Homo-oligomer: A and B are copies of this chain.
């Protein structure tokens, strides 16, 4: 059993659009145990589409085709599929009804091209699109299946998630794949491997798969079982152990983000936060307010980029800056303490560092960052070094400060 993906669209071939659909579909299929072996991107040309489908049926049992279903002239997937499967288009009354409702709800005038979107191949099973006007199509051929779905990412994702993946899972799943993911931050892949080394073998001996999935500042650890959910307890046991060993690095499960975790934590404890930022220039505040409901916990910030404003807004002693420098424990302490009072927050994060690429010295290289968190009870400060890339330094400082805040709130500081 193998699957393949065919993505149709010139915008993909000339690089105007990056093919995120293929990655998303590949990931979802492999998570339910269906191996994807080919992904072919082609242009909206009849001959090419016909040949590519033919080749796909010669080797794969599941073929997912995206794109080319829009209302304009250059979209020819539907007509080409009719030709391939020797059928013809006819107006589908249910599809037409839903498209009419779609336009009604948006108070928009329905054009003839939109009516034509309800014209679908006679021989296919129609897959409803609840996000847009282009229906999906399911074709059977000698036990193999081809589905054609829209290329618009959120329409494609909704159709796959709600209509198709559950059916694929029943029909094609070669094994009963089950997986859980735990997410760490502030610890490199190799250090994590070292901490886990004594029982990584144990995990594998239990017949489980272990994958490290690194991205900047984050390592996700995925344990996979092909015996299905019966292994849930076994996997949870391993995760509990990881969390016990490095609680300050493990922040969540599955697709959670650090800001979601921190935001929920602050909301559940009814606590407020603010920031006094230098090198991040507002990026921490921006992250804290990136999700809905931020006003429940975020009050405000002082962005003190210049030394004068560190003094005038955050009351940092000019002597402190002269003596220890703006990138110093002393400076971030004063910033955080004054911010906590002036912003009237439970927790105030402050930071100061050398984002680069200029401004580094032998003593204080590019990437050196101090982060401090002040509460009504006291202050904690930590020094980090994130290397020589400006964008990465800012991104890492945001992650590290959110995680430090999480540890302070949970009282699990090292």
A-side interface residues toward B, CB under 8 Å? 12-20, 22-28, 30, 36-43, 48, 55, 213, 275, 277, 280-286, 288-295, 298-306, 308-309, 313, 342-344, 355-358, 390-391, 394
A290 to B355, CA, bound (A): 9
B19 engages A15 (CB within 8 Å):
no
The reply to whether B292 and A281 contact each other, CB–CB distance below 8 Å, is no
Complex alpha-carbon distance, A339 and B404, angstroms: 30
CB distance from A131 to the nearest CB of B (A): 14
Q: Would you call A18 and B23 a contact (CB within 8 A)?
A: yes
Residue from A18, A36, A281 having most chain B Cβ neighbours under 10 A: A281
New A-B pairs, 6, CB < 8 Å, besides A13-B36, A15-B28: A12-B22, A15-B27, A281-B294, A299-B305, A300-B303, A313-B342
Task: List, sorted by A's number, 18 A–B pairs whose CB atoms are closer than 8 Å.
Answer: A12-B22, A14-B30, A15-B24, A18-B20, A19-B23, A37-B43, A37-B48, A38-B42, A39-B40, A40-B41, A275-B282, A280-B289, A281-B286, A282-B282, A294-B305, A300-B305, A301-B302, A303-B303
Give bound CA distance, A13 to B2, whole Å: 12
In the bound complex, what is the Cα–Cα distance between A308 and B343 (angstroms)?
9
Which residues of B have CB within 8 Å of A275?
282, 303
Q: How far is the CB of A362 from the nearest CB of chain B, in Å?
A: 16
CA distance A283 to B285 in the complex (A): 8
CB contact between A19 and one of B22, B306, B356 (< 8 Å): that residue: B22
Question: When chains A and B are docked, how far (Å) is the Cα of A305 from the Cα of B295?
Answer: 7
Beta-carbon contact of B43 and A343 below 8 Å? no
* Identical chains bound together, number: 2
Instruction: Report whether over half of chain A's contact residues are helix, strand or loop; otherwise say mixed.
Output: mixed
Q: Which of B15, B22, B55 contacts A30 (CB 8 A)?
A: B15
Residue of B nearest to A214 (CB): B16
Instruction: Give chain B residues whose Cβ lies under 8 Å from the Cβ of A18.
Output: 18-20, 23
Chain B minimum-CB-distance residue to A343 = B309
- Report the minimal beta-carbon distance from A49 to chain B, rounded to whole angstroms: 12
Q: CB-CB < 8 A to A288: which residues of B?
A: 281
Residue of B nearest to A37 (CB): B43
How many angstroms from the CA of A390 to the CA of B294 in the assembled complex?
A: 12
Contact call B300/A306, Cβ cutoff below 8 A: yes
Q: When the two chains form their complex, are residues A289 and B308 in contact, meaning their CB atoms are under 8 A apart?
A: no
CB-based contact B357/A292 at 8 Å: yes
A289 neighbours in B (Cβ, 8 Å):
280-283, 305, 355
CA of A358 to CA of B277 in the docked complex: distance in angstroms?
Answer: 28
**A306 proximity list for chain B (CB < 8 A):** 295, 299-300
List, in ascending order, chain B residues with CB within 8 A of A298's CB.
281, 305
**Complex contacts, A20 vs chain B, CB 8 Å:** 18
Q: How many angstroms between the C-alpha atoms of A301 and B309 in the bound complex? A: 9
A141 to B257, CA, bound (A): 50
Find out whether the CB atom of A292 lies under 8 angstroms from the CB atom of B37: no
Q: Which of B16, B38, B282 contacts A283 (CB 8 A)?
A: B282
Closest CB of chain B to A48's CB: distance in Å? 7
Residues from chain B with a CB closer than 8 A to the CB of A43 are 37
Chain B hits for A292, CB < 8 A: 356-358, 390
